[in-house]
Amino acid sequence: MFTEELARVLPEEIPHRERLIAKAAQHLQLILAANEHMNLTRLTNPEEAAIKHVCDSVAPWRHFAQARRVLDAGTGAGFPGVPLSLVLPDVRFTLTESTQKKARFVENAVESLELGNVCVAAARAEEAALSERPDIITARAIAPLHRILDLFAKPLKQGARLILYKGPDIEAELAEARRHRVAAEVLCRYELPNGFGTRTLVSVRAQPRGERSAS
């Protein structure tokens, strides 16, 4: 059921599309089975899961393509890290999850899916980022922007860049972020298939001295 939905909604130009469809369908099936005894996600309808989990995760893949190491903060059941790792096999992904039972699920899923470019850290993302030294830290809707900036102030100073999946209304958060010494900008906006909503991809990096924040 997941295979058919993924084949229907994923763009034709996505790299490694057939592998993505097969492995992402397997991932969603693992989530569905685990959901019987733990709360991983409320999205179990095949159409919603394919679009809101997988399609949403990989839609902005080009913005991650040049990274060497990406850290997925608060990956939950493995999003966006697992789908992105399937599209970008040459990029190293660290999926962080501080809830131990969720981290164990993701570890087992990564092993089952045979994802050689992925490791899982059962730790707080802001702590893992200091040791991992990723190029990019990404997250989907884990906290308001100002809270994320507080959490990742040190990794930003070390040179990491945040790429955050947000909803359609980001202007107020960007305005509030200006009190931090960061350069924040909207990288892109995209529509999910079948009217499932608008997403905004936001980039944040440490602001060089003398440079004014972008909005």
In tens, the pLDDT along 53-78 reads 999 999 999 999 999 999 999 999 99
For residue 193, give the DSSP letter: G
So what's the pLDDT on residue 203?
Answer: 95
In tens, the pLDDT along 93-113 reads 999 999 999 999 999 999 999
So what's the pLDDT on residue 38?
Answer: 84
Query: Which amino acid makes up residue 198?
Result: T
So what's the pLDDT on residue 212?
Answer: 52
In tens, the pLDDT along 78-96 reads 999 999 999 999 999 999 9
Q: How confident is the model at residue 209 (pLDDT cuts 50, 70, 90)?
A: low
So what's the pLDDT on residue 56?
Answer: 97
Give the pair of three-digit tokens for residue 30. Answer: 């693992």
Higher pLDDT, residue 135 or 208:
135
Q: Do residues 98 and 86 touch, judged by C-beta distance below 8 A?
A: no
CA 70 distance to own-chain centroid: 9
Q: How far is CA 191 from CA 49, 144, 170, 175, in A?
A: 16, 21, 15, 23
Going by C-beta distance under 8 Å and a sequence separation of 6 or more, which residues neighbour residue 142? 73, 74, 148
Q: On the CB side of 186, how many CA atoms lie within 13 Å of its CA?
A: 16
Cis amide leading into 80 (omega within 30): yes
In tens, the pLDDT along 114-171 reads 999 999 999 999 999 999 999 999 999 778 888 899 999 999 999 999 999 999 989 8
So what's the pLDDT on residue 37?
Answer: 84
Radius of gyration of the chain measured on its C-alpha atoms: 17
All structural domains of the chain, each given as residue ranges with its CATH number in brackets, are 59-206 (3.40.50.150)
* Mean pLDDT, residues 6-17 taken together: 97
